[in-house]
């Protein structure tokens, strides 16, 4: 097997709305509306990229740029962690991570399904700016992330980072699309949207576990395998370079196979090999108990990786971000939100989001500021001293000023588009049009469940938000019929 500061989130600008009493009760000693710096040495205002030397100048002292560990769960719902209010699922490792940093209560995925959100993270742009981002999600070899498009990985690699992606890619298939063609030095994982956790058979019955562009045979439980590989990667051995690791678990995405469920694995594998279609959707399978086992196993696995990071001596200067690629599916707990994966209702796009950086962030903090996946791309590039490509302007806003320098978050809209649905959030207001074609207006501060449609009583606000949505939409690629 081969190897391969933030400062004050301003309480005065943070939303004061607590979403869900169970989530509020789960915060423990966390401060409810403020994030503070771990030290007074952050970037100076107006800092732009340029690498190690500019980072040292901005901080006023010698300091290495941080390692970046971005952990992405798959179809994990907003309240599926005990720190977000789950009454049945216990996630002590992620809860500890939240206590050690910042827990965001109003974080969003870039889209309502797997592939588009990954496009938004990797490019820092709305998925609809790229042809591959129009697939919701990618299901065949016809589209993918263009290797010529700059990515978070390629921009960090060019600024001196070692880069790796371990786990689920889901941004295109070989031979045309691959993480190693898009800026990651190393790849170990699966290309498709789902795989059977033991046999590694994908949606079309193909074997789907690779190291680089070559098949890698290992029939153990998939979460175990990528946890081992990630634990190995975060140990020293990158030639003194800072590193970016995108760790993309498939857990708790269907099929709902917990570690040890080998009989169910064998049953599904036999059906796939017999040529049956749609087996991995597991429509007749799963249970709340199995889902709980999968999420708790995800938590233990992340705990294993974080322990390896601690043992490496690099924990203090490693920025860890945890999130999900979209809202939960069948077995997910998302109270009080409505909707789930595939929709632009809150339950389809609001996700857990935790950030820890001991060198720059104080522990026990909560932020209620809205943010989206594509904001993290801009944030990480600024922190790492890497410039966005001028020909591919970012749609996200960097959170570095908010988190590192105590600045107000820039005022901006959060935008989403999927086939048949549209949404835009501005402050506490959300414009939404679902499959019924009706424009709706919600005040999320008062109504996080999106039950009180204010479209008829606040027509001017609705019209303004709809116009803002349509202005962005006009700049995106159209869907193909």
**Spatial distance between the Cα atoms of 5 and 65, rounded to a whole number of angstroms:** 11
**Spatial distance between the Cα atoms of 118 and 266, rounded to a whole number of angstroms:** 30
Q: By CB neighbour count within 10 A (0-12 exposed, 13-18 middle, 19+ buried), where does 415 fall? A: buried
Contact call for residues 383 and 317 (beta carbons, < 8 A): no
**Spatial distance between the Cα atoms of 275 and 296, rounded to a whole number of angstroms:** 32
Radius of gyration of the chain (CA): 21
Based on DSSP, count helices (H) and strands (E) in the chain, helices before strands: 12, 15
Among residues 47, 93, 170, 238, the one annotated as catalytic is: 170
Sequence-ordered alpha helix ranges (H) in 207-318: 222-233, 262-273, 288-312
Is residue 171 flagged as an active site residue?
A: no
Q: Could you please report the per-residue DSSP string of 430-475?
A: EEEE-TT--EEEEETTT-TT-----TTT-HHHHHHHHHHHHHHHTT
**Spatial distance between the Cα atoms of 370 and 13, rounded to a whole number of angstroms:** 11
Contact call for residues 256 and 290 (beta carbons, < 8 A): yes
Q: Cα torsion for 325, 118, 33, 305, to the nearest 10°? A: 70
Contact call for residues 72 and 120 (beta carbons, < 8 A): no
**Spatial distance between the Cα atoms of 169 and 481, rounded to a whole number of angstroms:** 26
Among residues 114, 149, 238, 282, the one annotated as catalytic is: 114
**Spatial distance between the Cα atoms of 135 and 53, rounded to a whole number of angstroms:** 41
Which residues carry out catalysis? 114, 170
């Amino acid at each position: 097997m081969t190897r391969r500061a933030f400062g004050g989130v301003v309480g005065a600008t943070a939303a004061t709305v607590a979403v869900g009493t169970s989530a509020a009760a789960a915060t423990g000693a966390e401060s409810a509306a403020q994030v503070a710096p771990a030290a007074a040495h952050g970037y100076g205002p107006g800092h732009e990229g340029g690498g190690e030397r500019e980072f040292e100048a901005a901080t006023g002292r010698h300091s290495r740029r941080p390692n970046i560990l971005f952990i992405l769960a798959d179809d994990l719902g907003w309240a599926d962690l005990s720190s977000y209010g789950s009454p049945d699922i216990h996630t002590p490792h992620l809860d500890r991570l939240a206590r050690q940093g910042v827990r965001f209560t109003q974080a969003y995925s870039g889209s309502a399904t797997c592939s588009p959100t990954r496009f938004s993270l990797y490019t820092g742009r709305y998925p609809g700016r790229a042809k591959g981002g129009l697939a919701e999600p990618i299901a065949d070899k016809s589209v993918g992330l263009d290797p010529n498009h700059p990515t978070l990985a390629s921009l960090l690699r060019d600024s001196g980072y070692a880069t790796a992606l371990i786990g689920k890619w889901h941004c295109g298939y070989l031979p045309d699309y691959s993480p190693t063609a898009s800026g990651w030095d190393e790849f170990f994982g699966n290309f498709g949207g789902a795989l059977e956790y033991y046999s590694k058979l994908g949606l079309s019955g193909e074997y789907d576990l690779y190291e680089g562009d070559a098949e890698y045979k290992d029939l153990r439980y998939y979460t175990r395998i990528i946890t081992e590989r990630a634990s190995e990667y975060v140990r020293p051995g990158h030639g003194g370079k800072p590193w970016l690791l995108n760790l993309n678990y498939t857990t708790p995405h269907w099929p709902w196979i917990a570690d040890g469920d080998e009989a169910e694995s064998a049953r599904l594998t036999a059906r796939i090999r017999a040529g049956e279609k749609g087996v991995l959707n597991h429509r007749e399978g799963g249970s709340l108990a199995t889902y709980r086992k999968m999420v708790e196993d995800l938590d233990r696995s992340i705990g294993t990786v974080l322990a390896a990071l601690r043992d490496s001596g690099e924990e203090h200067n490693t920025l860890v971000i945890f999130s999900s690629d979209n809202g939960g599916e069948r077995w997910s707990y998302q109270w009080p939100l409505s909707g789930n994966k595939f929709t632009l209702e809150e339950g389809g796009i609001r996700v857990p989001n935790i950030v820890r950086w001991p060198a720059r962030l104080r522990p026990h903090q909560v932020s209620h500021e809205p943010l989206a996946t594509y904001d993290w791309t801009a944030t990480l590039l600024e922190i790492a001293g890497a410039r966005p490509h001028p020909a591919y302007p970012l749609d996200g806003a960097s959170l570095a000023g908010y988190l590192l320098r105590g600045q107000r978050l820039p005022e901006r809209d959060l935008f989403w588009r999927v086939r048949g649905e549209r949404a835009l959030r501005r402050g506490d207001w959300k414009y939404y049009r679902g499959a019924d074609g009706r424009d709706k207006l919600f005040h999320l501060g008062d109504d996080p469940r999106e039950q009180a449609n204010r479209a008829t009583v606040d027509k001017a606000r609705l019209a303004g938000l709809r116009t803002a949505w349509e202005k962005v939409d006009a700049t995106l690629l159209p869907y193909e019929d």
